[in-house]
Amino acid sequence: MNKRDWNNHPPLVYPDYKSTVVRNPAKPLIPVPEEMMDLRMPVYGDAVIDKLDHDLTKNSIVNGEPLGERIVIHGKVIDEQGRGIPNVLVEIWQCNSTGRYIHKLDQHDAPLDPNFVGAGRALTDDAGNYRFYTIKPGAYPWGNHPNAWRPAHIHFSLFGHQFADRLITQMYFPGDPLFAYDPIFNSVPAHARDLLVADFKIELTEPGFALGYEFNIVLRGSRQTPFE
Amino acid sequence: MKYKQTPSQTIGPFFAHGLTAEQYRYNYTSIAHPVVADHSVPGEQIIVQGRVFDGAGNSCTDAMLECWQCDAEGRYSDRQQDPKAGGFKGFGRVGTGMNEAGRYEIRTIKPASIYGQAPHINVTLFMRGMLNHQFTRIYFSDEEDLNARDKMLNLVPEDRRQTLIARRLEIAGATVYEFNIYVQGEQETVFFDL
């Protein structure tokens, strides 16, 4: 099991994102020898995937299609050597096209969409690939600082094959003018921020239907190759 | 390494419709629940409950815990998880947002000692304000001898080990272990660099 690459992840406390100050350990994390890190994750498979789980434009229809710009996201989940990781459970959640979450505590004064919950999941295939259809989420205001707005983003949660190979991250959209003002995005070291931004791909764009984006994700994986 | 790890980001305050939809009663399904083992599972039935506190002493009502444990015979489940089925899952997920106190509750069985380690539950903690999730472990207060020899606990400075030990209580005929997480402060819970 490879270690967390602390040069690529955000620091625990990033004062511009105010709640990090009181919501993170102040004492050092306890180092764990590599041989004590290995513990397999629970196995997820077809039992948690219904046929519309990967399609957020259809999985919560009540009386019509959700409003907004349809997008398709293709991606490959790989380890640090670039090997595709099969059977990774990928869960996503997001706000709707107006920037409003269905969550009961979201107070943003923008309309809910009766046909959009904003949650989905998929398993990666034998080569590590996944695919989602959804609606491009809107930007929304939050209370971190005056006139604070989150850039449009989709939350991603992934289970690697080891318990410690767990990742929750956010996918952003290229060229968002809000990047410069967002402390959550900027908490990531500058050299690694691009890894959170999907690429627009005309080749993945479905004619007459949905704009195509690519978002590849790198998990920790293990140093050994499985065939050595 | 050829490829750099995708950076972590916070789970944010509004994860429940995606990750804990059934517990929070959103119109979506869940892959895991606060019930890790139901009453059909052999072993000692227990409830693990507690709260998550920030450095200012406030209870966090927007945290999510994942837990992963072996069964009463020391086996981690290698079967495909089926959230609609009963029996032993070993894996659970619970949010702290269903009551004002921010209390979580996991229903499970007490795990066995495995690989010479004291019985324990592996925990991953996520919440708003945490850009990186944190790993900790729940040990049991009535396993003093095994706890004293546990190799993970022995990585921890002695004066901090008690932060990982859940206190056994009997409440209304049920065995309850209380495990509060203090992410920061004088009683700060130990987190591992897993």
- Quote ipTM for the complex: 0.97
A5 lies in some domain = no
- What residues in B contact A81, CB-CB < 8 Å? 1-3
Span B37-64, pLDDT tens digits: 999 999 999 999 999 999 999 999 999 9
A7 lies in some domain = no
A170 lies in some domain = yes
To the query of whether residue A161 is one of the catalytic residues in this protein, the response is no
Given this model, what pLDDT does residue B1 score?
A: 67
Name the band, by pLDDT with cuts 50, 70 and 90, for residue A228: very low
A11 lies in some domain = no
Tokens coding B121: 């539950």
* Counted domains in chain A: 1
Q: What is the domain range of residue A190? A: 19-218
A44 touches chain B (CB under 8 A): yes
Q: Which CATH number fits the domain that encloses residue A53?
A: 2.60.130.10
B86 touches chain A (CB under 8 A): no
A13 lies in some domain = no
To the query of whether residue A150 is one of the catalytic residues in this protein, the response is yes
A38 lies in some domain = yes
Q: What is the mean pLDDT of residues A150-163?
A: 97
A148 lies in some domain = yes
| pTM attached to this predicted model | 0.97
Q: What is the mean pLDDT of residues A198-206?
A: 98
Burial of B38 by CB count in 10 Å (0-12 exposed, 13-18 middle, 19+ buried)? middle
SS3 call for B164: helix
The answer to whether B66 touches B93, Cβ cutoff 8 Å, is: yes
The answer to whether B132 touches B116, Cβ cutoff 8 Å, is: no
Q: Look at A103 and B14 and tell me if their CB atoms are within 8 Å.
A: yes
Among residues 98-137 of chain A, which lie with CB inside 8 Å of chain B?
Answer: 101-103, 105-106, 117-121
Q: Look at A10 and B193 and tell me if their CB atoms are within 8 Å.
A: no
| Structural domains in chain B, sorted by start | 14-76+85-182 (2.60.130.10)
